[in-house]
Amino acid sequence: MTITVTPENAAAIAEYCELIAWTPEQLANHLLADALDLFADPRSGSLERFLGSIDYPDLATAHRALARVAQIITIQFDGKLPESFQGQVQELELDAGHFGVTAQVIDRHGELLEVC
């Protein structure tokens, strides 16, 4: 697999690799390992926040991401999606034709929790 990074990211990677005497591959894999481990943990909240920060190119992809958020919430609430769960796909105001996802739920303490 080959990944192309922006010139800004390439410059930062080169700077930090020189500082710590790592290859770009070592640095990228180290940074990704931490993030991907958090994504795999349904209790960390990392994947939901990430999915909520993405601009999706079409409705189908946004709905698929929101369905994944609902799956994670179901896991967090011991296998049952709470009735208070509200998820939404919205067209982005500043980027017509692109979509975002939001979700919220009332947690076990009765507090409104913005999931993403």
23 and 80: one domain?
Answer: no
34 and 12: one domain?
Answer: yes
Q: Tokens 């500043």 label which residue?
A: 94
Residue 85 lies in a domain: yes
Q: What is the pTM of this model?
A: 0.84
For residue range 77-115, what is the model confidence (pLDDT) as tens digits? 999 999 999 999 999 877 788 999 999 999 889 999 999
User: CA triplet 54, 42, 113: central angle to 5 degrees?
Assistant: 70
- Of the two residues 37 and 1, the one the predictor is more confident about is 37
Give me the domain span that covers residue 73: 43-114
Q: Tokens 């909520």 label which residue?
A: 52
Q: Provide the token pair at 26.
A: 């070592």
**What distance in Å separates the CA atoms of residue 96 and residue 114, rounded to the nearest whole number?**
24
Predicted local distance difference test score (pLDDT) of residue 91: 93
